[in-house]
Amino acid sequence: MTGPVLTGFVPPAYRRRSLTEAIPAVAVALGVTEVGDPSWGLPESSAYVVLLIDGLGAELLRRNAACAPYLASLMPGSTQATASVPSTTGVSLTSLGTGLPPGTHGVVGFTTRVPSTGQLLNALHWDKAIDPEDWQPHPTLFERLSAVGVDVRVVSKREFKGSGLSIASQRGAHYIGADRLGERLSAVTEVHRRATPPRASLAYVYEGDLDWVGHRYGVASEQWRHQLTAIDAQAQQLRAALPEHARLLVVADHGMVDCPDRARIDIDKLPGMRDGLALLGGEARLRHLYAVDGAADHLEASWRESLGGRAVVVGRDDAVALGWFGDVSPRVAPRIGDVVVACRGNHGIFSSVDFPGERRLVGLHGSLTPDEMLVPVLVD
């Protein structure tokens, strides 16, 4: 399925210019060719900080450059990359941490079916019954870098330490819990003070507040613009606190779109939308539909007819053939919906029964529009 059906979508650039290549590109810049990917051509240094700003899409930054003077100053001559599909935090962070596409590492959505139980796994909140090292069994890039002598640290909120997603995507790094700006700056500068040449060092810093504000108030809000300005100042402070020889790489996991009331589709208020549906997964901008046995074709056809031009509706095999999930292993394939629904424009697909909390969100992400898929790659 190609052509007009997918017009306006940005396909993931796995193995070329996606988040899967970010850490391998840093590895080459650090001189670690065993783990590296030279295609990005990052400047060489013995010390790198990777700052991931959750929710800062490249298109959002471009339109709001006046609110982020420091980050905007890095844009001339910079490039961009793509998020993973779905364009959501758990998926993209695992792609960043493993260097693998979702179809290989196994985190394929915000909520996805656990084939052995038929229940949903939430990638952010996880389920203690699911071993994250079994769900995502591949070595992370942090493990691989640590094994060849790189000093690797993750600087993030204390509450995320030991979470299922952190283990799946970041195991192998020394985790430093830091909730406040001063703590983060101290933690990052300490990494580089401790690293003695020729030992290379990498600090990965996660900043999640912009995404929270975007979900709550929307990316067109004054609150979001103020938050962007605050994060811009933090990024500049971080750069100023680093040794001169160190490099700062700023990326994001996805962008975001606002979903107005007129663009919201509640499947529990439309007749026939649950016919043949055993389990609803994903999130509002990209849904995984798990069908009753034998009902996948009917489910795909009925949703395509009901949604019309508001979404692209494809079966699992077509979604895989389109490359949305990259190379898909047999153990991961059943986690992908029998039918995958990717919203166009600013539409969102909600369920007042299954996901009532989603209806309170203004900003959303997960689909393949440029605002969601394109992320900045900024180097200082």
> Does the pLDDT value for residue 173 go beyond 90?
yes
Burial track 340-353 (b if 16+ CB lie within 10 A, e otherwise): bbbbbebbbbbbee
Banded model confidence at residue 3, pLDDT cuts 50, 70, 90? low
Does the bond joining 86 to the residue before it have cis omega, within 30 degrees of 0? yes
pLDDT of residue 197: 62
- CA gap 303, 276 in Å, rounded: 11
pLDDT tens digits, residue range 343-358? 999 999 999 999 999 9
CATH 3.30.1360.180 residue window(s) in the chain: 261-364
Sequence-ordered strand ranges (E) for the chain: 47-53, 79-82, 111-114, 119-122, 151-156, 174-177, 201-207, 247-251, 257-258, 264-266, 277-283, 286-291, 311-315, 339-343, 348-350, 363-364, 374-379
Banded model confidence at residue 182, pLDDT cuts 50, 70, 90? confident
CATH 3.40.720.10 residue window(s) in the chain: 3-257+369-379
Residue type, 359: R
Question: Which 3 state secondary structure label does DSSP give 374?
Answer: strand
> Does the pLDDT value for residue 370 go beyond 80?
yes
pLDDT tens digits, residue range 197-230? 668 999 999 999 999 999 999 999 999 999 999 9
- CA gap 7, 90 in Å, rounded: 26
The 3 state secondary structure assigned to 348-367 is EEECCCCCHHHHHCCEECCC
Q: How many CB atoms lie within 10 A of CB 128?
A: 7
DSSP 194-258: H--TT--EEEEEEE-HHHHHHHHH-TTSHHHHHHHHHHHHHHHHHHHHS-TT-EEEEE-S---EE
Cα distances (angstroms) measured from residue 68 to each of 55, 73, 123, 227, 255: 14, 8, 30, 10, 16
This prediction's pTM? 0.96
The kind and range of the H/E element at 126 are none
Which has the closest alpha carbon to 202: 51, 83, 75, 345? 51
Tokens for 52, please give them. 């991931």
Pick the CATH number of 261-364 from 3.30.930.10, 3.30.1360.180, 3.40.640.10, 3.20.20.70: 3.30.1360.180
Q: Which residues have CB under 8 Å from 378's CB, separation 6+?
A: 71, 74, 75, 78, 249, 250, 251
- CA gap 11, 28 in Å, rounded: 26
pLDDT tens digits, residue range 13-69? 999 999 999 999 999 999 998 888 888 999 999 999 999 999 999 999 999 999 999
Q: Which residues partner with 286 through β-bridges?
A: 283, 342
- CA gap 255, 227 in Å, rounded: 15
Which has the closest alpha carbon to 319: 288, 275, 346? 288
**Do the beta carbons of residue 279 and residue 118 sit within 8 Å?**
yes
When pLDDT is averaged across residues 266-271 and rounded to a whole number, the result is: 95
pLDDT tens digits, residue range 283-314? 999 999 999 999 999 999 999 999 999 999 99
- For the domain 3-257+369-379, what is the CATH code? 3.40.720.10
- CA gap 231, 184 in Å, rounded: 13
Tokens for 362, please give them. 């203004």
> Does the pLDDT value for residue 193 go beyond 80?
no
